[in-house]
Amino acid sequence: MKIVACYKIVRDEADLVVGPHRTVTLDGCALRIGDYDLTAIEAGVQLAAASGGSVVALTAGGEEVRDSKLRKGVLSRGPDMLAVVAEESLGSADAGTTARVLASALGREGFDLVVCGEGSSDRYAQQVGAQVAARLGVPYVNAVSAVSAGSGVVVVQRTLEDEVETLEVTLPAVISMTSDAYTPRIPSMKDILGAGKKPVVEWSLADLDEAVPESSSLRSWLAKAAGVSRVGPERAPEAVPRAKVMYEAGQAGEFFSAVRQLMGKGAK
Amino acid sequence: MLTRAVVYGESVPAYAALCASASELAGEVIAVVVGDAAAAAQVSELGVDVRHVPYDGTGLLDEYWPVVADVVAGEDAGLVLLSATKRVRALAGLLAVRLEAEVASDPTTLEATDNGLEYELVRYGGATVQKTSTTASLVAVLGPEFRSLTSRGMEEVDVESRSLRSKADGVGSCVSKGGPGPVTLVDTAVPHIGIRLISRAPKTEQSVDLNAATVVIGVGRGIGSEENVEVAAEVAKSIGAELACSRPIAEGVGWLPKSRYLGVSGAVIQPDLYLALGISGQVQHMVGVNGAQTIVAINKDKGAPIFAHCDLGLVADLSSILPSLADELV
């Protein structure tokens, strides 16, 4: 089984600096692999180990996808190879654009099963898997908490709000994992050293458009999509105004009478 | 104002909220209902046109997505509103590709502008927000963080022209023509989608509706031990509150089920009172509780971010506070 696990390189919001008037700067934030994507990679790697398949890790983005340390970080977690779509304009791509580009790469590369995370750590639109599947016309299941291989199918457990479905999905297909489905491994030193020797392919949009008629090319699609939406600056959220009345440990009595008052209860 | 909006949800209350929001943005609201005749009739009571796709509740609901997509595509609507459930996010993706539409997942706001729609999305789990305006068709998946125009009390919105009536219970209905809207039966064969339902079972983990509670107690890592979580659970029980937690408590140490964690990818609540015990107040958690009327926090770390986001804060060690907490609050 040929498994493709998708991931996204995101900024680490822990480094986010908020300036005056709710301005934020993300440029100084470190890069990291999306939290939920590590779960997808782990699911793919475990499934490949159990079914005798291979795993390609796939991403699309701007300059950030060229970071060699992060490439090793992905490969040290078990995938056999890396496929990267790198194009400056994809650095700020939304889920729809990412899905369109990944679908093109997947059409070229071929696959039996695409495994996505629950959502990206930055946008968390939870749309890439669904839209990749719709573009490729293959079955899609989200909220997958467990996956096992059958003959020409995978059997998945899907955890919804109040029920769990067991589904048989005909391959090729796309699935998105729940955030806690598999615990991502901590790579060993051997894994990290071995990661540098694994193959990496890099495509530009022009590469993906090769042998594709202009009318259905990625670049014409992106050009058409570009004028449709205008995206404003990222800003810090408006703070919810709070009273911020503080009490020290010795003032627990006063604190609780204030809380009781809030709850519409009398004093003790 | 758009000409037409289509809504789809998984419950009648979901339709009520969707129709109320849709009628603020579009002149005509059409509800696609996949369910039995009774469900279709109930939704039509909201005063909207209903396209009823019969479904007896036994098969795989996802098999109906291509049918729903056909119906939606046939309505030529500039806006599709979906209520955020896990299953519906898959439908959103299919609709986006089918309609070549943008998707707004869990926007906090959504407004009609002179030449399209404008919405605000949160990023990095609420650490930043970003406005997008689009002239494309839009599929918006509305979750609990969505604040409709009415709920934000925007006065420039002409309530009369929208024909929106708000019931006393707060669930808006959108009686645009007086009386129930017409129900049109959509009787199409369900296509094969390559997914077979083998079995379904209720979630063994006890399901909890944190949104229904007026008082919610949240515990974070500062609670210290699983025994202390049990004490907090007793406190919650004694004051009629629901117990919730931060993500590390559910997914890290597993002291509470995952259905009880608040914040990004967890529950988003708007209780009257949120009592945060040992919660540090990371943005990922706060995005789940910022809608609370009042936030009260107890934490031993005076520098914890929660104290910048609460109304009342007590700097104290929970191990000394917990034993008498129930007495203090009952």
* Structure confidence by residue, pLDDT tens digits, B259-281: 899 987 788 899 999 999 999 99
Q: Cβ–Cβ contacts within 10 Å for residue A260, how many?
A: 16
Q: Buried b / exposed e across A124-154, counting CB within 10 Å, b at 16+? A: bbbbbbbbbbbbbebbbbbbbbbbebeeebb
What residue in A sits closest to B197 (Cα-Cα)?
Answer: A167
Is the Cβ pair A234, B202 closer than 8 Å? no
Q: Pick from B265, B269, B275, B318 the residue to mutate for testing the A interface (most A CBs within 10 Å).
A: B265
What residue in B sits closest to A241 (Cα-Cα)?
Answer: B309
pLDDT in tens, A194-236: 999 999 999 999 999 998 999 889 999 998 888 888 899 999 8
- pLDDT value of position A40: 98
Angle at A231 between CA A226 and CA A236, to 5 degrees: 155
- pLDDT value of position A19: 86
* Span B142-149, average pLDDT: 84
Which residue is it, tokens 């009273």? A243
pLDDT in tens, B108-142: 999 999 889 999 999 988 889 999 999 999 999 99
Q: Is the pLDDT of residue B149 over 90?
A: no
- Judge if ipTM > 0.90: yes
| Number of residues that this document lists for chain A | 268
Is the Cβ pair A165, B131 closer than 8 Å? no
What residue in A sits closest to B325 (Cα-Cα)?
Answer: A256
CA distance A227 to chain B (A): 9
- Alpha carbon dihedral B297, B299, B304, B308, in 10-degree steps, equals 20
Question: Which positions in chain B touch A262 (Cβ < 8 Å)?
Answer: 273, 294, 296, 311-312
Of B58, B59, B61, B3, the closest CA to residue B32 belongs to B61
Is the Cβ pair B90, A130 closer than 8 Å? yes
Is the Cβ pair A127, B105 closer than 8 Å? yes
Question: Which positions in chain A touch B94 (Cβ < 8 Å)?
Answer: 130, 134, 140
pLDDT in tens, A165-191: 999 999 999 999 998 899 999 999 999
Is the Cβ pair B89, A142 closer than 8 Å? yes
CA distance A155 to chain B (A): 9
- Residue B302 has which token pair? 């005076």
Distance CA B219, CA B293 (A): 18
| Nearest-CB residue to A135 (from B97, B290, B296) | B97
- pLDDT value of position B99: 95
**More confident: B9 or B163:** B9
Is the Cβ pair B85, A179 closer than 8 Å? no
Is the Cβ pair B313, A237 closer than 8 Å? no
Is the Cβ pair B201, A237 closer than 8 Å? no
Q: Cβ–Cβ contacts within 10 Å for residue A91, how many?
A: 13
* Span A45-57, average pLDDT: 97
| Number of residues that this document lists for chain B | 330
| Nearest-CB residue to A142 (from B86, B122, B133) | B86
Question: Which positions in chain B touch A254 (Cβ < 8 Å)?
Answer: none
At B211 the three-state DSSP class reads: helix
**More confident: B207 or A64:** A64
- Alpha carbon dihedral B122, B7, B59, A111, in 10-degree steps, equals -50
Is the Cβ pair A167, B201 closer than 8 Å? no
What residue in A sits closest to B105 (Cα-Cα)?
Answer: A125
Q: Ranked by mean pLDDT, which of A9-13, A237-241, A264-268, B204-208 comes out on top?
A: A9-13
Question: pLDDT band at residue A113, thresholds of 50, 70 and 90?
Answer: very high
- pLDDT value of position A26: 87
- pLDDT value of position B153: 52
Q: Is the pLDDT of residue B143 over 70?
A: yes
